[in-house]
Amino acid sequence: MIQFDQVTKRYPGSDEALKNISLNINAGEMAFVIGHSGAGKSTLLKLIAAIERPTSGTVLIANQNISKLKTSAIPFMRRRFGLIFQDHKLLYDRNCFENVILPLRINGVAGNEAGKRVRAALDKVGLLHKEKVMPITLSGGEQQRLAIARAVVSRPSILIADEPTGNLDASYAADIMAIFYAFHQVGVTVIVATHDALGMSASQNRVIHLNQGILTTEGHISKGIPNS
Amino acid sequence: MSWFNHHTQAMKLVLARMQGNKTSSLLICLVVAVAMCLPGLFYLGVDNLSTLTNHMQDETEISLFLKLDTSNNTITEIDELLAKNSAIKHYRLVSKEDAWKDLQAKSGADSAVKQLNKNPLPDAFFIQAKSVNPAELEALKTELQNIPNVEHALLNSDWAKRLSTLLQLGKEIIFFIAILLAIALLVIIGNTVRMQILTQKDEIEVSKLMGATSSFIRIPFLYAGIFYGLLGGLLAIFMMAMVIGFFNYSTSQISTLYNSDFRLSLFNGHLLLGIISLATFIGWLGAYLAVTRSIASIKIN
Ligand SMILES: Nc1ncnc2c1ncn2[C@@H]1O[C@H](COP(=O)(O)OP(=O)(O)OP(=O)(O)O)[C@@H](O)[C@H]1O
Ligand SMILES: [Mg+2]
């Protein structure tokens, strides 16, 4: 599903954020990307989501080379992903319902069908009763869940979350992780970047460990968390 | 269907935003209206005058004013001369007494005319030529001018021609003014849309991240530009109707004095359609330029 072959990413005017990364994530897998701050976790996710292009090497998503994609084709590639950002990127000038409906508008889904899907997504994250509420009045955990609802409403096959539990307390973070597991369970590919091991012990999950842009260890939780 | 949905949604969104921002929306429409209204009114004025003069140019009347001290015998001689002239279709004599009476009857009781105690008017012949050819008319005029005791032969179309070239010049000046105003409008609408894009920056960024195409992002702003232009154009026509109504009212008195029914008419279909479509086009173009430049500058990360 997702293939990295000797991928290097250098931002203009800075050092290499990723160095010679080769990896493979299969459809339906749940993978964690871990590492220190500045290790290149966000960069890895951005390459997957076609937000950034590699400096060298190839990134293949569903057998399509991201670097060779025409600019006009990129929006359609992005629609395969549900993205959850560290800073939510919610729109604070509209209520929860209107935040969640945005991806459906982009996908050309409208009317009753859209309303139904928005409510189903809000229900999945336990925010159905907050449909008409403005996001600014939600707690940090609720905002994160709203962001998840927005990411899943268009039923993407790949869910990508950048530090979704970043500044939440443990019980909220466990809630969020449980939601990701639920999507993984129904066959969605889930990729989560995180700097803590929270929630990872639950089952055998793929771990991609980055250290200063270098892929240090790849393995599964059950084989032991790589010590960092 | 999704294309249609997208457009109707964008329109609804833009109209809602404009409603939420009534004052500034009204202001920009007003700017468009004034900029369209000014050249529109000038054009209408010039156009109305030139249809008037075009009409006059078709007239082939030559006025023959005699010297003030012309005797009745001489008048009879000239009359015979005119009767023999084969280039003349018909003619009539208006004696100075008749002209004087006519003038006094037409002017008000306390007008300057009544203050005169001597008739200043000459005897005159009004001649209708057979030909409408300007060169032949000119020749006839010169011929008539050379009759003894003729003070002045006047081809009525002469001054109409001069006025019409002036009006043509006026039209060209209006054209250039209109171009300058159109450029100013383009800049103003472009700036307004650019400001809107800046306030929608977050939404644009998030939409891009979620796979929105550039046309999806662009369309609401293009509609904003189109609506500004369209509403501004309609407002311009409304303003023109007001100005013309006022003009016609205040000139009606002068017009009756000159025995003329000259009125400015707004109902120039081409002009109305032209104003509305030009305003809409300028709105669209200003928005298009702004949106193309600004959206590229909004980076996602
Ligand atoms: N847009 C950018 N321009 C320049 N340099 C960047 C940019 N984004 C990231 N970097 C650099 O690339 C390196 C990796 O950044 P990245 O954001 O991928 O790290 P991270 O692992 O997500 O860190 P964190 O845990 O703090 O989010 C860092 O050194 C960072 O300074
Ligand atoms: Mg990061």
In chain B the domains, ranked by start, together with CATH numbers, are: 2-54+162-297 (no CATH), 62-155 (3.30.70.3040)
pLDDT at A83: 95
CB A59 within 8 A of CB A116: no
3-state secondary structure chain A: CEEEEEEEEECCCCCEEEEEEEEEECCCCEEEEECCCCCCHHHHHHHHCCCCCCCEEEEEECCEEHHHCCHHHHHHHHCCEEEECCCCCCCCCCCHHHHHHHHHHHCCCCHHHHHHHHHHHHHHCCCHHHCCCCHHHCCHHHHHHHHHHHHHCCCCCEEEEECCCCCCCHHHHHHHHHHHHHHHHCCCEEEEEECCCCCHHHCCCEEEEEECCEEEEEEEHHHCCCCC
Interchain pair B210, A102: CB under 8 A: yes
In chain A the domains, ranked by start, together with CATH numbers, are: 2-80+156-227 (3.40.50.300), 92-155 (no CATH)
Atom of ligand 1 minimally distant from the CA of A9? 12
Local confidence band at B110 (pLDDT 50, 70, 90 cut-offs): low
- Mean predicted lDDT score pLDDT of chain B: 84
Give pLDDT tens digits for A186-204. 999 999 998 765 555 545 6
Give pLDDT tens digits for A85-118. 988 899 998 999 999 999 999 998 888 999 999 9
Alpha-carbon span A217 to B208, nearest angstrom: 33
Atom of ligand 1 minimally distant from the CA of A210? 21
- Mean predicted lDDT score pLDDT of chain A: 87
Interchain pair B213, A72: CB under 8 A: yes
**Average pLDDT for B206-227:** 92
Q: What pTM was estimated for this model as a whole?
A: 0.74
Alpha-carbon span A41 to A138, nearest angstrom: 27
**Average pLDDT for B143-154:** 86
Alpha-carbon span A180 to A184, nearest angstrom: 6
Query: Would the CB of B301 count as within 6 Å of ligand 1?
Result: yes
Task: Tell me, in angstroms, the distance from the centre of ligand 2 to residue A165's CA.
Answer: 12
Residues of A in contact with B209 (CB under 8 A): 49, 51, 78, 83, 85, 89
**Average pLDDT for A170-181:** 85
Q: Which residues contact A72 (CB under 8 A, 6 or more apart)?
A: B213
B255-283 burial code (b ≥16 CB/10 A, e <16): eeeeeeeeebebebeebbebbbebbbbbb
Angstrom distances, CA of residue B236 to CA of A117, B63, B263, B266, B276: 45, 44, 20, 12, 9
Q: Is the pLDDT of residue A228 over 50?
A: no
Which of A7, A36, A42, A52, when mutated, tests ligand 1's pocket best, judged by the most ligand atoms within 8 Å of its CB? A42
Alpha-carbon span A107 to B6, nearest angstrom: 10
Query: Would the CB of A11 count as within 6 Å of ligand 1?
Result: yes
Residue to substitute from A80, A84, A85, A106, interface B, most B β-carbons within 10 A: A106
Tokens for B57?
């140019």
pLDDT at A226: 43
Nearest CA-CA partner of A42 in A162, A175, A183 = A162
Residues on chain B bordering chain A, Cβ-to-Cβ distance under 8 angstroms? 2-3, 5-6, 9, 202-203, 205-213, 216, 300-301
